[in-house]
């Protein structure tokens, strides 16, 4: 027991020393998210967080291509697209130089994602976009047994498969061997950014349709982050053949995990949400679309990998780091210690709230019958 | 800074006090996984971990129904499992051939098992069916990614849906008053859900999705279990007749037929990252898992590496032994600070020295 305490004390002293060194700027941070003059592809860009991000990056000098939902009716879709491009033009840093485009597509189909990449590449002087940011997604929560299997599939299609297909098409384009490259002027790391949710970091009653897809996306990002080291390492090979087969530019992957956003998506979400879920979520911070966009971009500029957007998200992330690369190693680790202790009290409290709701209100929704 | 240190010291003292109290047995643990005389449904029961679990539970007195696709393997396993019975005169066994990746098949499995079990749904349902075909993301066709999700996530979701539907029939409509005790739904994920490594994009996301499903269901079951205890008679009548518990097993590497399949597509860089990982037999994993269930565990890992990985990724999941899990999480968090850059460096170095191929022999990219 005494030896354990000694070791533990040593660990703590080491952590605090490193914390002090980190605060003094001893450990560098990567600043490689320059967007001016770059081309950014954003899915889910017609509303909510996606639209806010598109406007923000336009104001920072990027050429922006947004992918909007395929609305079907040609006339209204065309009108919406024109309106979106006008919006981006109005936000642009240098409207005479920057270019904007909007594509209508169904992101839940693999072929559509290939088309999106191909059309964007053709529009971008035959170069794939420099930055690809999946934001398309939406939540229709509800009790597991009140959710039809088809609805579970629809949630997985939009919140996981769409991101997977986009990643596949994008990385295929970005890993064309350097020896076959047609462009020698563009430089800098290419960024693939996926948008998950803090729902991936905690399970609550009423979220079985939405949390698993977002947790799957977090896992995809972790695996891809590890895997891309293979391609980035090959670029630095002393062997000429290996270098020729490697991509022409480094690739970085990032994962945004926002909390509750005051967006059109939230209205949809609250329609099917069970009251017990609303109880568990009460007290959670709510952010505007623009706030979330600003925080996400700031964190990308600081070189972050897992990026949360409010105090609750930061805590949830620190409490579920697993084997994911940390942003600020010492800070994330110490925060994780504190969150671990807090969860020891929070978890039984949340389980108790659900149990109490069942005991007092039963299985229905209190006002109105479920199907 | 000084105040922070004081608060931190207080937290540590509190943790060690609770640790001592826990060791002294002050916090109880639930022991409610009695299988003697109960009926257990196991998917993936014809080989590997599933067959080992079926044999073990048969030896503990359970009636066992195994599910698998291949009728030949099913028949062979059936023989081995019934031979392991504790009291062959009283225990019953059944085998059903089914494709667990289809929702209708899962509904059929539950219905046939219920009919066979004197019109009572099984007491325990354990999904073990699953398999891993790892590989680099860009070398894996989309169809293969879907096949992995179908088998390693959707099969468990469909089985859970059918099972919980059967178990939440209102108490007022129940036809059986003799069976008692908690009903257990057990899903089998993987430690791959707890860490991302190069070459595992087909398999890890489905298993991570399953972990999330378990977390959400565990929270949600409190609604049904709470309703059972309501002072309101109508609420009690609409609630299930028995409590429902959820568990998630996260094994590591198992020397099973599945491992042979897995290693066929696995990229060499993945093997570099996995070097040093403990490997267990199917029977060992089954024994450790059942022991974990008998201790009332929720997230159950089966070897030292799994325990550490679980402690490092607890998030909002209910803990098994609160103080122990929390302190272990502290230590693992510090260890990861060194392990993560080391693992990323290994992949980078492999790319630098060997490139994107597989070293010996080229692999055609079929996308």
d(C-alpha A130, C-alpha A249), whole Å? 10
Q: What angle do CA A162, A166, A171 make, to 5 degrees?
A: 150
Q: By mean pLDDT, which of A74-83, A97-106, B310-319 is the weakest?
A: A74-83
pLDDT digits (tens, 9 = 90+) for A115-143: 999 999 999 999 999 999 999 999 999 99
Contact yes or no for A358 and B323 at CB 8 A: no
Structural domain spans, chain B: 29-353
pLDDT of residue B21: 63
pLDDT of residue A105: 94
pLDDT of residue B367: 41
pLDDT of residue A9: 73
List alpha helices for chain B, DSSP H: 2-23, 48-59, 71-83, 103-116, 142-149, 155-167, 204-228, 233-238, 257-265, 268-274, 282-294, 304-311, 322-354
Name, in order, each residue with C-beta under 8 angstroms of B263's C-beta and a sequence gap of 6 or more. none
pLDDT at A222 exceeding the cut of 60? yes
- Specify the higher pLDDT residue, B18 or A37: A37
Measure B314 CA to nearest chain A CA, in Å.
6
DSSP-assigned letters across all residues of A242-303: HHHHS-SS-EEEEEEE--EEESHHHHHHHHH--HHHHHHHTT--EEEHHHHHHHHHHHHHTT
Average pLDDT over residues B43-71: 97
Contact yes or no for B196 and A346 at CB 8 A: no
Q: Which residues of B fall within a CB distance of 8 Å from A344?
A: 319, 322-323, 326
> Which of these, B142, B193, B186, lies nearest to B43 by C-alpha position?
B186
Name, in order, each residue with C-beta under 8 angstroms of A304's C-beta and a sequence gap of 6 or more. A254, A327
pLDDT of residue A74: 66
Q: By mean pLDDT, which of A56-60, A73-77, A360-364 is the weakest?
A: A73-77
Name, in order, each residue with C-beta under 8 angstroms of B196's C-beta and a sequence gap of 6 or more. A219, A221, A222, A223, A224, A225, A226, A323, A324, B204
- Respond yes or no: is residue A210 known to be catalytic: yes
Nearest to B142 among A168, A234, A338 (CB): A168
pLDDT of residue B92: 98
d(C-alpha B185, C-alpha B182), whole Å? 10
Contact yes or no for B212 and A211 at CB 8 A: yes
- Mean pLDDT in chain B? 92
pLDDT of residue B363: 42
Nearest to B226 among A202, A329, A356 (CB): A356
pLDDT category at A13 given cuts 50, 70, 90 is confident
CB atoms within 10 A of CB A81: 18
Name, in order, each residue with C-beta under 8 angstroms of A25's C-beta and a sequence gap of 6 or more. none
Q: Which residues of B fall within a CB distance of 8 Å from A216?
A: 149, 153, 205-206, 208-209, 212
Nearest to A227 among B198, B219, B232 (CB): B198
Whether A225 contacts B137, CB under 8 Å: no
Q: By mean pLDDT, which of A86-90, A250-254, B140-144, B176-180 is the weakest?
A: B176-180
Name, in order, each residue with C-beta under 8 angstroms of B117's C-beta and a sequence gap of 6 or more. B39, B63, B65
Q: SS3 sequence, A294-360?
A: HHHHHHHHCCCCEEECCHHHHHHHHCCCCCCCCCCHHHHHHHHHHHHHHHHHHHHHHHHHHHHHHHH
pLDDT of residue B25: 52
In CATH terms, the fold of domain A31-177+186-321 is: Rossmann fold (3.40.50)
Contact yes or no for A205 and B216 at CB 8 A: yes
pLDDT of residue B191: 97
Contact yes or no for A203 and B194 at CB 8 A: no
A60, A214, A225, A273: the active-site residue: A214
Q: By mean pLDDT, which of A66-80, B6-20, B272-286 is the weakest?
A: B6-20
d(C-alpha B187, C-alpha B191), whole Å? 13
Average pLDDT over residues A64-85: 82
pLDDT at B135 exceeding the cut of 80? yes
pLDDT of residue A368: 39
Name, in order, each residue with C-beta under 8 angstroms of A251's C-beta and a sequence gap of 6 or more. A171, A174, A175, A189, A190, A191, A192, A228, A231, A232
pLDDT at B37 exceeding the cut of 50? yes
pLDDT of residue B19: 65
Long-range contacts of B349-352 (CB under 8 A, 24+ apart): B349/A233, B350/A230, B350/A233, B350/B268, B350/B269, B350/B272, B351/A229, B351/A230, B351/A231, B351/A232, B351/A233, B351/A234, B351/A235, B351/A237, B351/A242, B351/A246, B351/B269, B352/A233, B352/A234, B352/A236, B352/A237, B352/A238, B352/A242
Q: Which residues of A fall within a CB distance of 8 Å from B222?
A: 205, 351-352, 354-355, 358
pLDDT of residue B192: 96
pLDDT of residue A298: 96
Q: What angle do CA B32, B37, B43 make, to 5 degrees?
A: 80
pLDDT of residue B360: 44
CB atoms within 10 A of CB B187: 26
Average pLDDT over residues B287-304: 97
Nearest to A149 among B161, B234, B337 (CB): B161
Contact yes or no for A145 and B161 at CB 8 A: yes
pLDDT digits (tens, 9 = 90+) for B248-272: 999 999 999 999 999 999 999 999 9
pLDDT digits (tens, 9 = 90+) for A34-44: 999 999 999 99
The top-level CATH class assigned to B29-353 is alpha beta
CB atoms within 10 A of CB A96: 5
pLDDT digits (tens, 9 = 90+) for A150-171: 999 999 999 999 999 999 999 9
Average pLDDT over residues A332-358: 96
- Mean pLDDT in chain A? 91
Name, in order, each residue with C-beta under 8 angstroms of B276's C-beta and a sequence gap of 6 or more. none
pLDDT digits (tens, 9 = 90+) for B176-214: 767 789 999 999 999 999 999 999 999 999 999 999 999
Reading the block at residue A238, the tokens are 């002393």
Contact yes or no for B326 and A336 at CB 8 A: no
pLDDT digits (tens, 9 = 90+) for A256-276: 999 999 988 899 899 999 999
Q: Is B126 exposed, middle or buried (0-12, 13-18, 19+ CB in 10 A)?
A: buried
pLDDT of residue B4: 66
pLDDT category at B174 given cuts 50, 70, 90 is confident
Q: What is the CA radius of gyration of chain B?
A: 22
- Closest residue, chain A, to B343 (C-alpha): A226
pLDDT digits (tens, 9 = 90+) for B97-115: 999 999 999 999 999 999 9
pLDDT at A182 exceeding the cut of 90? no
DSSP letter for A130, please: S
- Respond yes or no: is residue A214 known to be catalytic: yes
């Amino acid at each position: 027991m005494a030896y354990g305490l000694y070791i533990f004390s040593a660990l703590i002293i080491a952590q605090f020393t490193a914390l002090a060194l980190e605060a003094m700027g001893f450990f560098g941070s990567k600043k490689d998210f320059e967007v001016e003059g770059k081309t950014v592809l954003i899915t889910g860009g017609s509303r909510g967080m996606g639209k806010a991000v598109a406007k923000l990056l336009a104001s920072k000098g990027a050429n922006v291509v947004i992918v909007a939902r395929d609305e079907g009716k040609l006339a209204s879709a065309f009108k919406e697209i024109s309106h979106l491009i006008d919006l981006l033009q109005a936000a642009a840093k240098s409207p005479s130089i920057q270019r904007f485009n909007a594509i209508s597509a169904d992101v839940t189909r693999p072929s559509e994602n290939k088309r999106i990449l191909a059309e964007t590449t053709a529009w971008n002087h035959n170069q794939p976009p420099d930055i690809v940011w999946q934001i398309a997604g939406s939540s229709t929560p509800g009790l597991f047994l009140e959710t039809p299997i088809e609805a579970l599939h629809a949630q997985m299609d939009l919140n996981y498969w769409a991101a997977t297909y986009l990643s596949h098409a994008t990385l295929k384009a970005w890993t064309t061997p350097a020896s076959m490259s047609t462009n020698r002027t563009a430089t800098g790391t290419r960024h693939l950014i996926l948008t998950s949710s803090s729902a991936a970091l905690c399970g609550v009653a009423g979220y079985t349709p939405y949390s698993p897809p977002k947790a799957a996306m977090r896992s995809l990002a972790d695996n891809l982050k590890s895997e891309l080291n293979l391609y980035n390492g090959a670029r630095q090979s002393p062997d000429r053949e290996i270098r020729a087969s490697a991509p022409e530019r480094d690739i970085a992957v990032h994962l945004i995990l926002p909390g509750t956003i005051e967006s059109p998506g939230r209205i949809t979400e609250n329609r099917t949400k069970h009251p017990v879920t609303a109880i568990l979520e009460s007290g959670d911070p709510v952010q505007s679309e623009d706030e979330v966009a600003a925080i996400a971009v700031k964190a990308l500029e600081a070189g972050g990998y897992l990026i949360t957007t409010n105090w609750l998200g930061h805590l949830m992330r620190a409490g579920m780091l697993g084997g994911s690369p940390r942003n600020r190693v010492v800070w994330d680790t110490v925060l994780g210690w504190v969150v671990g202790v807090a969860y020891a009290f929070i978890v039984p409290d949340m389980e108790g709230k659900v149990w109490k709701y069942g005991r007092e209100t039963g299985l229905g929704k209190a006002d109105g019958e479920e199907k």
